[in-house]
Amino acid sequence: METYRAVVIKNHRPEFSEFFESVAGDEVEVGREYIGNRGWRNWLWVRHLRTGSSGWVPRQLLTFRSDKEAVFNSAYSSKELGAGEKEEVEVLEELNGWAWCRNQDKEKGWIPLENLKRP
């Protein structure tokens, strides 16, 4: 995906203050699948076995060993990025209704796509 600039059209405040980061090969225990907003399909609640932290992970980033065990097939961070209306961000990746963004302070995190608009 080619990166692009976007403007925040609706404030986003992270739901979770804690987050985890992983590298390829890190193991997780897989829990429930997200149900709710139809645009946010394929998010799974997992417990990171190395850190003990829990959070939402895109299904596409996991290779399953069983129904309840998986490993990351790439690096990942569950960090959400707080952003205020009219703030500009760079969208680096889109997955399952969310955008992995970088703000002007070079911080990175997830923001729902519905909160962003291309100028």
Q: List domains and CATH numbers for the chain.
A: 4-15+79-117 (2.30.30.40), 21-77 (2.30.30)
Q: What is the pLDDT of residue 38?
A: 86
User: Does residue 77 surpass a pLDDT of 90?
Assistant: yes
Mean pLDDT of 45-59: 95
- The CA-CA-CA angle for residues 34, 91, 87, to 5°, reads 100
Integer Cα distance of 8 and 50 in angstroms: 34
Mean pLDDT of 40-69: 96
Q: What is the pLDDT of residue 76?
A: 97
Whether this prediction's pTM lies above 0.75 is answered by yes
Q: Which of these, 24, 35, 40, 28, lies nearest to 80 by C-alpha position? A: 40
Backbone φ and ψ for 115, nearest 5 degrees, come out as -90, 0
Q: What is the pLDDT of residue 1?
A: 77
